[in-house]
Amino acid sequence: MLRSYRYFGSWLLTAAFATPFTLLANPRPVPNAQEREEEHERDRDRDHRRVYDRDHRDYHNWDDREDQRYRSWLDERHEGYRDYSRLKRKEQRDYWSWRHQHEEHEEREHR
């Protein structure tokens, strides 16, 4: 009986090393058109979200234009880029105050 278990450890070790390679050998399925469209929509939703400004009690669409304004605000403060969602609440409030003041100036220039 001991003879049958003699090589069991070696066999088990070989199986443990071979398993990851067999998993890598199986190709991932190519997504179909519907799956690609759903992924594209998720990316678009991630890039365009709505943000609530508590002090002014309004919503802002966070799109490319808003991101450019946010980057301008960061430049004025001589700060490197950080995602808006990572700012502290006070910094977010500072941004929206600046943003509303800056928005008034933009409206005057366009008149």
Q: Is residue 56 part of a domain?
A: yes
Q: Is residue 32 part of a domain?
A: no
Q: Is residue 17 part of a domain?
A: no
User: Which residues pair with residue 61 across a beta bridge?
Assistant: 50
Q: Is residue 25 part of a domain?
A: no
pLDDT given for residue 102 in this prediction: 82
pLDDT given for residue 69 in this prediction: 94
| Structural domain of 98 | 49-110
Number of folded domains that form the chain? 1
Using alpha carbons only, give the angle 79, 82, 83 rounded to the nearest 5 degrees: 150
Q: Is residue 27 part of a domain?
A: no
Q: Is residue 40 part of a domain?
A: no
pLDDT given for residue 70 in this prediction: 94
pLDDT given for residue 79 in this prediction: 94
Q: Is residue 99 part of a domain?
A: yes
pLDDT given for residue 111 in this prediction: 47
Q: Is residue 26 part of a domain?
A: no
pLDDT given for residue 110 in this prediction: 47
pLDDT given for residue 72 in this prediction: 95
Q: N- to C-terminal Cα distance for the chain?
A: 95
Ranges of the chain whose pLDDT falls below 50: 110-111
* 62, 51 Cβ separation under 8 angstroms: yes
